[in-house]
Each structure stands twice: as C-alpha cells, then as structure tokens.
Amino acid sequence: MNPITHKPKSLVDISTHYCPGCGHSVVHRLIGEVIDELGIQNRTVIVAPVGCAVFADKYFDCDSIQGPHGRGPAIATGIKRAKPDSIVFSYQGDGDLASIGMAEIIHAAARGEKITVIFINNAIYGMTGGQMAPTTLVGQPATTCPKGRNPDLQGYPINVSEMLSQLKSPKYIERVSVDSAPNVIKAKKAIKKAFQNQVDNVGFSFVEVLSICPTNWGVEPIKALDFLREKMMPQYPLGVFKDEGKTQEGK
C-alpha cells in the first residue's frame, strides 16, 4: 500500500503556528504544491506580510523577505524589477492589504507589475486580537465594534477584487474559498493560474481567498465554515473578475 498524498517539497517539514482550522495553512500547502508542479522553487521569492502569516517565510523553502505592514506589493515590485527572472509573490491578509496597504496594492495593480498577490480575506484582524478590518461584515462583532459593524459609523466592507477589476492593467483577478474540499481544489487551480501567468510574463495576478478565523470569530472551526458560507459568501461572491491572460494552464 503506497501513500497517494505527499507533502509539498517546497514547504519546510515543520508544524505551523496557526490556530486549529486556520485557512492560512491550507493556502500555504496549495502554494507549495503549485511551486512544486511548476518547478520554480529555486527562483521563487515570497514577500511575507505583517499579520498572522508573518512567519510564512519560515514555512516556505525558498527565498523570502518580510515587509513592513501593507508594503508587500511595493517590495515585490522592487524584487521583480531588479530580478525579472524571479517568481515573486506577496502573501497578505485583509488587515495588511485592505487597510494600511491599500495604496500599495492599488498602485501595484494600476502599474501592472508582473507579480502575484495572494490575499487572505477572513473579515477580521487576526494577529492583533480580532479588531474590525475593512472587510468586516455589517453586523459582525469584533473587539473594536462589540455590537457589530454599524454602517452609519464604520461604513460598509470593501470588496477588493471587484475594486481592482475596475483597473485596466491587472490581467487576472479571482476570488476563491477554502471552506470545502471542492472549493480547495478550485482555489488551487486559481493559485496555479496566478503563478503560471507570472512564469509566462503575462502581468499582475491577484487571488483573493476567503478563509475562516475560528479564534477571533469566537466559534469552533466547523461552525466557522457555516458562517463563511452563509454570511461571507453573499457579501464576497466567488468567481473570476478578470482574466486576460494568454495561457489557459491551470484552468
């Protein structure tokens, strides 16, 4: 009897620091599998964010740099322009990308930098203790809005994928989820296409991944999945928002 599942070679074989059920680890594994399949491990550079994934550089067996809060796309721009042969991806959460890093991501997308951005959206600040993020849903409680987000005071959540798809330069924008096995497989296809675009020098690729944060939502992981499906998905519909790549690999 032989194993039919194998740990990705581009991931370091250690346990992660993420909470039980966290979607970050699933996305790490998917990225690791994609790097293995494309054979790009020795020219990949990860730009780790500030947030729960701040130690992401410890888990990927490739070159890495850890950027200041929200500045991942700016750092990735510099690396990609200095070394165009490298495969550079910025891995960011919603507190990192959608609040303090909003300027960086919009301008990197508007310039059409040939980088890949993986955006983990769990509708809350994770590492800092469950504060309201720009992506927090209306009515969703957080430590800085214990009665739930009130649109009169805090406005409405930002749909980053829809917003970036209004720009002309980005080539590929998709929103996926890691709540179930079929959706994880779709998420892997999206991530693979985002990396394949960079290998083929197509242009800016952006994948938003809806993920659960059981610890800061205050629920068990399996109940968090229900929250993601029932509350998050209506606000953040899955789908391809832009696909102007030349390749159809991974789709």
Partner 1 sequence: MPKIEVDEMRCKGCKLCTKACPKQCIEMSDTFSKTGYYPAKLAKQDCCIGCAMCYTVCPDLAITVYK
Residue 242 in contact with partner 1, rule: CB under 8 A: no
C-alpha dihedral, 190 to 195 to 199 to 201, nearest 10°: 80
Q: Which is nearer to partner 1, 21 or 170 (CB)?
A: 21
Interface with partner 1, residue 19, by CB under 8 A: yes
Task: Indicate the residue among 29 and 80 with the shorter CB distance to partner 1.
Answer: 29
**Site for partner 1 contains 137 (CB under 8 A):** no
Contact 160, 119 (CB under 8 A): yes
DSSP per-residue letters across 27-60: HHHHHHHHHHHHT-GGGEEEEE-SSGGGGHHHHB
Residue 97 and residue 53: Cα distance in Å, rounded? Answer: 12
Answer yes or no whether residue 184 interacts with partner 1 by CB under 8 A.
yes
Give me the 195-214 binding string for partner 1, x by CB under 8 A, dash otherwise: -------------------x
Among 221, 229, 238, 249, binds partner 1 (CB under 8 A): 221
Please state, in angstroms and rounded to a whole number, the distance separating the CA atoms of residues 95 and 210.
13
The CA-based angle 243-247-251, given to 5 degrees, is 70
Q: Is residue 230 close enough to count as binding partner 1 by CB under 8 A? A: no
Binding site residues, partner 1, CB under 8 A: 1-5, 7, 11, 15-16, 18-26, 29, 178, 180-181, 184-185, 214, 220-222, 225
